[in-house]
Amino acid sequence: MKIRSEIIGCGSYLPERCVSNDELSKTVDTNDEWIRSRSGIEQRYIAAEGEFTSDLALAASRRALEHAGIDASEIDLVICATTTPDNTFPSTATKVQHKLGMTNGAAFDIQAVCSGFVYGLATADNFIRCGQAKTVLLIGAETFSRILDWTDRSTCVLFGDGAGAVVIRGAEQETGSNGKGHNSGRGILSTHIHSDGSNYDILYVDGGPSSTQTVGHLRMNGREVFRHAVTNLASIVDEALIANNLDRSDIDWLVPHQANKRIIDSTAKKLGMSQDKVVLTVDKHANTSAASIPLALDTAVKDGRIKRGDLLLLEAMGGGLTWGAGLVRW
């Protein structure tokens, strides 16, 4: 018997205000055609004044707990992947823990920008398989609108706000002595994370508590990020498949980080996957950083595309650079 981390529920939340490309064009020197053709984005959601990352995280978490059919008191670890916490400290995870009425367990944030959810998945899986946590609430939540330079049209049109969450629980599963049972059971089969700090300056925020005592704004060399994303995502996908002795054709759904449709198309092409096996939400949500994978996952689970037993490949790349993947049997 082995402990396997099973995702038993998911949920997501988007702010009320939806801003189309056309609406954005009224205040930013841009147009729908440019944004659509370069990124696939049609609209994004923007948090209301006074609505914080923890509020989005809480709403997504409540939905995930409801979907899992469990009470917050059963959670013993809350992990929040975010680059846009309410405050420098305490962590947004502790705020969510409190708002859920939890007085038990532990809570912390993870900072891996757009790869945050995959980093969180790896962390949750390891805590569970080591026996240090039984049931983890993993959240990806962002208010990226607050760190955008709205005078920089090359970046501000690409991002949005939102949150997604999953409940992950350890379950004992039988594994065959030849290891063949490994891939058929439900849960997280493996996670793979990487970083390379040498490219920190192609995607970063030009402020912070220690350096400028300000929050700062997102800065990006789009072309360089694009180039690294295509290369790193292709290699991480292969790494995940090889580790599990699986073929590209075994994957039922690609659930990628939603940065840019062209990056997603390129990864799908390398996998030989048709568009109808790729969960695409970047058109409606834009890039919500750490929230994008759980938002996409929840969308495809709730509309019935992702079914029990399906094999999902989750992958992301973000600032750092950081990148990673997870294979999950739903």
Question: What residue ranges bind ligand ACO (CB under 6 A)?
Answer: 30, 34-35, 38-39, 114, 153-154, 157-158, 203, 220, 222-223, 225-226, 229, 257, 259-260, 287, 317-318
Contact, 121 vs 112, CB < 8 A? no
| Residue bearing tokens 């990864």 | 267
- Residues 165/116, Cβ–Cβ less than 8 Å: no
For residue 302, count other CB atoms closer than 10 A to its CB. Answer: 14
Query: Catalytic: 18?
Result: no
Closer to ligand ACO at the Cβ: 231 or 245? 231
Nearer to ligand ACO, 39 or 267 (CB): 39
Give the shortest CB-191-to-ligand ACO separation in angstroms.
18
Nearer to ligand ACO, 223 or 308 (CB): 223
Scan for tokens 């789009």, then name that residue.
Answer: 222
Least Å distance between CB 279 and ligand ACO? Answer: 16
- Helix ranges (DSSP H) in the chain: 21-24, 32-39, 53-68, 92-99, 116-129, 153-156, 222-243, 261-271, 282-285, 292-302
The least CB distance from residue 84 to ligand ACO, in Å, is 14
- Tokens 């402020």 belong to 207
Catalytic residue among 67, 114, 217, 232: 114
Is residue 183 annotated as part of the catalytic site, yes or no?
Answer: no
Q: How far is the CB of 242 from ligand ACO (least distance, A)?
A: 23
Measured CA distances, 315 to 9, 46, 51, 133, 278 (Å): 19, 24, 28, 24, 12
Residue nearest to ligand ACO (CB): 222
Q: Which of 67, 192, 217, 257 is catalytic?
A: 257
Known active-site residue 244: no
Give the catalytic positions in this structure: 114, 257, 287
